[in-house]
Structure 1
Amino acid sequence: MLQHPPLPVIAIVDDHPIVIEGLKNLLTSETPFEIVSFTRGSQFLDYLKTNNADMVLLDVVLPDMTGLELCAAVKKNYPEITVLAISNQAERSIISQMLQNGASGYLLKNASADELLDGIENGLKGETVLSPAVKEILSRPSPNDWNGIPVLTKREKEILRLISEGLSSTDIADKLFLSQLTVETHRRNIIQKFQTSNMFSVIRLALEHKII
């Protein structure tokens, strides 16, 4: 009997089941791939211990680690796997860091189906995949409007340090004997002080300026 070559394996790592289902439906109807999916980065790393994947479609925001960390771990231990980030995060610094960590491309979640399918095909060929929107973001000059180091309270520094260590708001609340609402309020205040839109950028800037 004629043996058919195994289908390429595409892994999806995203913490939103509805996104996973949408991607699965698109890929199974349009492409000859085997699809596996995970909602946590640790699940995917466990899977790779005994299974192979040709490509991972990776979200930046995950419940147990950042997509940046997962990308770096995958490329360090399984360099042959192609990482393609698919995210709502449109910050220049996050896109750049993902590419520096070894991703072959970055698409925003508002990309069209054709854009995604072309990206997967080109990524598997070893090409760099950047949607027009991402190219436009990367072409902008680096923002220089972050003036001075924001002044954080002792509690804000403590919470920021714990966030950088990967603790959730619930974990931090338990550890510091605070309510989760109080922790979330501190998070919002910290982001506001850094004049950015998300905690990824805050942590990068805080490390860069040795605040934590």
Structure 2
Amino acid sequence: MKILIADDHPLTLQGTKSFVESYKHTVIDTCSNGISALNYIQLHSPEVAILDINMPGLDGLDVARRIHEERIKTKVILLTMHKEMTIYKKAKKYNIYGYILKEHSNIELEKCLKEVKEGRCYVSEFLQENLIVATDNSNVELSKLSLSERKIVELIAQQKTSKQIAKMLFLSEKTIEGHRRNIIEKLGLPKEKNTLLVWAIQNVK
């Protein structure tokens, strides 16, 4: 199969590429962010795209959603560290073909690619026992946010400015400010100066 791989960690990207090639598949391109991945997929419709969920610009779920909405034939496999039920359910909505936990990818990727090649879906055998259902209040609040918004909140908790966040995520400062307003609204926070910063520091572990 002809496969695109996208991951923002160079070592993981190269490791995944080596694994895929050792299984006799062709890696036609690699990307370090979701925007490049989506652009390539829209232009070339590779058979399969292996996407990390956490990436700058667009995350893997954003890319999967766009592929689903635009009815592109590329089959998506998500490679992730996320074990939250909310994220897995969201991924299922976009008709992904594979969901593998990074910690088990060395033993599951080959199996997953075989299933996908046959047109079947593959979900990590380790996922069910590892799925985390949000229980504490901060997780419940965070589950109201999209992955992109959660990423921004994590960076706010690290006391990054909108300008710094924009640079890290390949977005404009104006877009980050828009996300901040949406996050404040979703979380029902008072519209006061630094309200989101205070909440993020208190609630993001």
Shorter-chain TM-score tier = 0.5 to 0.7
Instruction: After superposing the two structures, state which structure 1 stretch, 23-32 or 79-88, moved more.
Output: 23-32
Q: Deviations over 1:44-64 (max 9, x none)?
A: 222134313011111110111
After superposition, the Cα gap between the structure-2 partners of 1:135 and 1:46, relative to the gap in structure 1 and judged at 3 Å, is same
After superposition, the Cα gap between the structure-2 partners of 1:93 and 1:77, relative to the gap in structure 1 and judged at 3 Å, is same
**Structure 1 segments (4+ residues) deviating >4 Å:** 142-145, 165-171, 173-176
Indicate the RMSD between aligned Cα atoms, in angstroms.
Answer: 3.5
After superposition, the Cα gap between the structure-2 partners of 1:49 and 1:106, relative to the gap in structure 1 and judged at 3 Å, is closer
Tell me if 1:110 matches 2:103.
Answer: yes
Shift of 1:9: 1.2
Q: In structure 2, what is the equivalent of residue 57 of structure 1?
A: 50
**Equivalents in 1 of 2:65, 2:161: separation in Å?**
25
Shift of 1:97: 1.0
Whose RCO is larger (CA < 8 A, sep 6+)?
2
In the alignment, structure 2 segments of 5+ residues that lack a partner are: 165-172, 175-193
Tell me if 1:186 matches 2:197.
Answer: yes
Shift of 1:116: 0.7
Q: With structure 2 as the length reference, what TM-score do the two structures score?
A: 0.67
Corresponding pairs, count? 168
**Equivalents in 2 of 1:65, 1:17: separation in Å?**
17
**Residues 99 and 105 of structure 1 are in contact (CA less than 8 Å); yes or no, is this contact kept in structure 2?**
no
**Equivalents in 2 of 1:70, 1:90: separation in Å?**
19
| Aligned match for 1:25, one of 18, 22, 37 | 18
Q: In structure 2, what is the equivalent of residue 46 of structure 1?
A: 39
Q: In structure 2, what is the equivalent of residue 15 of structure 1?
A: 8
AA partner of residue 30 (structure 2): S
Give aligned-pair identity as a percent.
Answer: 22
**Equivalents in 2 of 1:78, 1:53: separation in Å?**
13
AA partner of residue 186 (structure 1): L
Q: In structure 1, what is the equivalent of residue 182 of structure 2?
A: none
Q: Deviations over 1:132-176 (max 9, x none)?
A: 2212245x7x545549x87xxxxxxxxx99x73986755615769
**Residues 92 and 137 of structure 1 are in contact (CA less than 8 Å); yes or no, is this contact kept in structure 2?**
no
Shift of 1:40: 1.1
Q: In structure 2, what is the equivalent of residue 209 of structure 1?
A: none
**Equivalents in 2 of 1:59, 1:94: separation in Å?**
13
Q: With structure 1 as the length reference, what TM-score do the two structures score?
A: 0.65
**Residues 98 and 123 of structure 2 are in contact (CA less than 8 Å); yes or no, is this contact kept in structure 1?**
yes
If you compute each CA radius of gyration, which structure gives the higher value, 1 or 2? 1
